[in-house]
Amino acid sequence: MTSEAATETENWQAEWEPVIAAIGRDFSPEVRMGADAVERGAIRRYLEPLEFDCALHTDPEAARAAGFDDVTMPYTGVVAWTIPPMWQPGERLFDSDDRDAQPVRSPINNQEMTLGPKTTGFFATDISLDFLRPVVAGERIGRRSNRLLSCVPKETSVGRGAFLKWESDVVTETGEVVARIRIGTYAYIPKNESGQ
């Protein structure tokens, strides 16, 4: 590697130093509620294509006999109910009709990150959840916090960026924590945009 190439590598990685220094910081301490309350019909529609047959999710009497107020949301569906609405009436979500156009804002693409280089590429790499209890029909849930757990700059085949690990609490409207989510992401500048 030439000294010029080594300097370029160090420079792009150095742009991530403020993010690395922010490990442990909560970038979103407020609660962001999901778009809708969990309801039986949505649970049924979620179960249908999976043919996931469990009385706790389909039979209110069986759920009550197990100690729940109503049917429970399958754990695998909980994340979807924490996502705030992307669009509201009167808003314009896409400002381009390009084939690969992205929404002008999204609750899942890390737009809260104000440190480090401006990235335009983003995808999730992994997810893990710890549950304290099931979510039941009628509850509305959301996420509180977006704590940065790690930042590892790395050049990949898609571009230069950093692997980030985030942690959030899944909470009810009363603030009760029902689960904890850890999500890995890769935020990057695509090769075609950075001249790599």
Q: List the domain boundaries for the chain.
A: 3-94+110-194
CATH of domain 3-94+110-194: 3.10.129.10
Q: How many residues does the chain have?
A: 196
Q: What is the pLDDT of residues 21-67, one digit of tens each?
A: 999 999 888 899 999 999 999 999 999 999 989 999 999 999 999 99
Q: Could you tell me the CA-to-CA distances from 184 to 45, 99, 123, 146, 167 in Å, in that order?
A: 28, 27, 9, 12, 9
CA 76 to chain centre: 14
Straight-line distance from the first to the last Cα atom of the chain, in angstroms, rounded to the nearest whole number: 15
Pick from 189, 190, 163: which is nearest to 20 by CA? Answer: 163
Q: What is the pLDDT of residues 72-129, one digit of tens each?
A: 999 988 988 998 888 888 888 888 888 777 777 666 555 566 788 988 888 889 999 9
pLDDT given for residue 87 in this prediction = 80
| Mean local confidence (pLDDT), 1-21 | 75
Place of tokens 């000294």: 3
* Count helices and strands in the chain by DSSP H and E runs: 6, 5
Percent of the residues in the chain that have a pLDDT greater than 90, as a whole number = 62
Distance CA 165, CA 20 (A): 11
Instruction: Please return the burial class of 157, using the count of CB atoms within 10 Å of its CB with bins 0-12, 13-18 and 19+.
Output: exposed
Q: What is the pLDDT of residues 136-184, one digit of tens each?
A: 999 999 999 999 999 999 999 999 999 999 999 999 999 999 999 999 9
Distance CA 85, CA 88 (A): 7
> pTM higher than 0.75, yes or no?
yes
pLDDT given for residue 110 in this prediction = 56
Q: Are 150 and 121 in contact (CB under 8 A)?
A: no
Q: Which amino acid is at 44?
A: R
pLDDT > 70? residue 7: no
DSSP state of 72: B
Pick from 187, 150, 142, 186: which is nearest to 168 by CA? Answer: 142
SS3 for 115-150 is CCCCCCEEEEEEEEEEECCCCECCCCEEEEEEEEEE
DSSP state of 79: G
